[in-house]
Structure 1
Amino acid sequence: MSIQVYGIPSCGTCKKAIAWLEAQGIAYEFINTKDYPPSRTAIAEWVSILGERSMRNTSGQSYRALGSEKETWSHIQWIEGYAKDAMLLKRPLFVKDGKAIAVGFRNPEDLKQKLISN
């Protein structure tokens, strides 16, 4: 089983998620999206699984800087936006065996089920 956690080191939610993973003894690879932005292809796959709305980091400066035009963006425009600015992506994003399984860190028990199930 291969687990990647996409986020940024300074993100409080990412820190909580990483501490939880370590407390559970779950091995993971952390990928700093500022230093290593995900590819458009990867983002498109994640969006197809999780949906573009759930992946929006609506509390970030990048999101607020978009202005009102973001309200009418299409599915494709969101994928392009995420690919151009990884700070638009909600954090952390969890990928298991190459497939996105969750974004954000609100329900650790739900995440645990997704991490241990096939």
Structure 2
Amino acid sequence: MVTVYGIKNCDTVKRARKALDAAGIDYRFHDFKTDGLESAKAQQWIDALGLDAVLNRRGTTWRRLDETSREGVTADNAAALLASQPSLVKRPVIEYPGGVRIGFARTDETTILAELRGAS
């Protein structure tokens, strides 16, 4: 089963969900705002893809963190921060049998959809 993690108001998440619906790919949506994020799940993503792939350093939530918090983030302690502030996760996170992807760039849509079809 494919699971899409994100925030329902996020434009990229909306676009990804619309593309999955149009492609007929069944998925479950996990909204960080209502369903939360467990630190163990965030750590799985960090372990699989690396902190830079998971942590959104371009968003408002990141800019609102104090400088000490921003400078102290490492792969070893980031999961707790992401669990407490899931808006810091790049979106969407797409988990599927055999893998996980973060983001839904327009240039990668065809590849992502093909990968998800193959995993279903």
TM bucket (normalised to shorter chain) is 0.7 to 0.9
Q: Which runs of 4+ in 1 moved over 3 A?
A: none
Q: Where in structure 1 are there 5+ consecutive unaligned residues? A: none
Map 1:3-82 onto structure 2 (within 5 A).
Answer: 3-69=2-68, 70-82=70-82
Query: Once superposed, what is the RMSD of the aligned Cα atoms?
Result: 1.7
Checking the alignment, whether the CA contact within 8 Å between 1:93 and 1:100 is kept in structure 2 is no
Amino acid aligned to 1:109: T
Shift of 1:36: 0.9
Identical counterparts, % of pairs: 27
- Residues 1-50 of structure 1: per-residue CA shift (max 9 Å, x gap): x0110111111000100111011110111111011112111111111111
Counterpart code for 2:49: L
- Tell me the TM-score normalised to structure 1 length: 0.87
Tell me the SS of whatever aligns to 1:83. helix
Name stretches of at least 5 consecutive residues in structure 2 with no aligned partner.
none
Does structure 2 conserve the Cα–Cα contact (< 8 Å) formed by 1:13 and 1:105?
yes
Higher alpha-carbon deviation: 102-111 or 11-20: 102-111
